[in-house]
Amino acid sequence: MPEQIVQFTITGILTGSIYALVAIGLVTFYNVTGILNLAQGDFVMLGGMIFVSIYKLGLPLLPAAVLSIILIAIIGIFIERTAIYTARNSPIIILISITVGLGIFLHGLALIIWGTSPQSTSSFIGSEPIRIYGAVLPPQGILVIISLLLLLLVLYIFFEKTILGTSLKACMINPEASQLVGINVRNMSMLSFTISAAIGAIGGIIVAPISGITYDMGLMLSVKGFMAMVIGGMTNVFGAVVGGLILGLFESFTAGMISTIYSDAISFVILILFLFLLPNGLFAKSKGKRV
């Protein structure tokens, strides 16, 4: 039994870290624009698919990963300028609907290009499982956790220590005042979408060696990322991470101790409870503003 608890905990942390990566991307864009990008999970899928394809062309894992992130960032810029920016004056529900349509488009595009078979690569750091108190931790799982922690550090440095990050942060707090002091808030929308797309690509890259990438995984990842976002407090990056870990642990213990059939149902119950009992989440900050 203790070994099972350790295993459930490890699995929950790994799953929750993936949800956290999706939630961080959602929070980054929502903070600046007030728009929920419900295609965020599909950027995870697309980033993973492109990474696997580049790797299969013969490029080593690390260069393939870097090139995939760059390509997804470029795609993010194109999508934001053509789909989001052009409809910026539309009601917020229309803009959210656009991201839903975008997710469906990417979903279908992936099906046409890559088909239904899961796509995967070899692990970045070996394949020999690590044993902890009788539980098994895949080496790639360590990279998932490290990537999450490094991403948090990089985002902290970017937002707190750079001029560009400070400008983006100012747009989160007060877009009108930011525009008065010369900050181009429209470009900040593009930047935030690009960053969230790149974060999605990172998620896809680190997931590919563990569970593989499938064309239809984006929707559920977007839903789980949104759940983590709500639990953490909508506008708080650290809260998104905590929310993802909570969600992952609940799912893991539910699947292990009850049944995998009920794990998604339990996740939705948790979301409903938070919406009723703690609607602002665990670490709520000021609300995201549309620019």
The tokens describing 81, both together, are: 């300028």
236-260 per-position pLDDT tens digit: 888 999 999 999 999 888 888 887 7
Which sequence spans correspond to the domains of the chain? 1-115+137-277
User: Nearest to residue 151, comparing CAs of 189, 83, 203?
Assistant: 203
Flag whether pLDDT at 200 surpasses 70. Answer: yes
User: Nearest to residue 216, comparing CAs of 135, 118, 125?
Assistant: 118
Mean pLDDT, the chain, whole residue set: 87
Q: How confident is the model at residue 288 (pLDDT cuts 50, 70, 90)?
A: very low
Q: How confident is the model at residue 213 (pLDDT cuts 50, 70, 90)?
A: very high
Distance CA 31, CA 190 (A): 13
The pLDDT, as a whole number, for residue 130 is 80
Which H or E run contains 177? helix 175-180
Flag whether pLDDT at 233 surpasses 90. Answer: no
Is CATH 2.40.160 what the domain over 1-115+137-277 is classified as, yes or no?
no
Distance CA 160, CA 276 (A): 33
Question: Which single residue is written with the structure tokens 């942390």?
Answer: 13
How far, CA to CA in Å, does 215 sit from each of 33, 110, 205? 28, 5, 14
The pLDDT, as a whole number, for residue 1 is 65
Q: Bigger pLDDT: 85 or 102? A: 102
The size of the chain, in residues, is 291
CB 281 within 8 A of CB 36: no
Flag whether pLDDT at 197 surpasses 90. Answer: yes
Q: Bigger pLDDT: 289 or 211? A: 211
Quote the DSSP letter at residue 99: H
Q: Given its phi and psi angles, is residue 58 left (phi above 0), alpha (psi -120 to 50 degrees) or beta?
A: left
Reduced to 3 states (helix: H, G, I; strand: E, B; else coil), residue 135 is strand
Q: How confident is the model at residue 285 (pLDDT cuts 50, 70, 90)?
A: low
141-173 per-position pLDDT tens digit: 888 889 999 999 998 898 888 888 888 877 766
- Please give the model's pTM, rounded to 2 decimal places: 0.89
- List, as one string, the DSSP characters of 100-150: HHHHHHHHHHHHHHH-SS-B----TT-SPPEEETTEEE-HHHHHHHHHHHH
Distance CA 191, CA 175 (A): 14
34-89 per-position pLDDT tens digit: 889 999 999 999 999 999 999 999 899 999 999 999 999 999 999 999 988 888 88
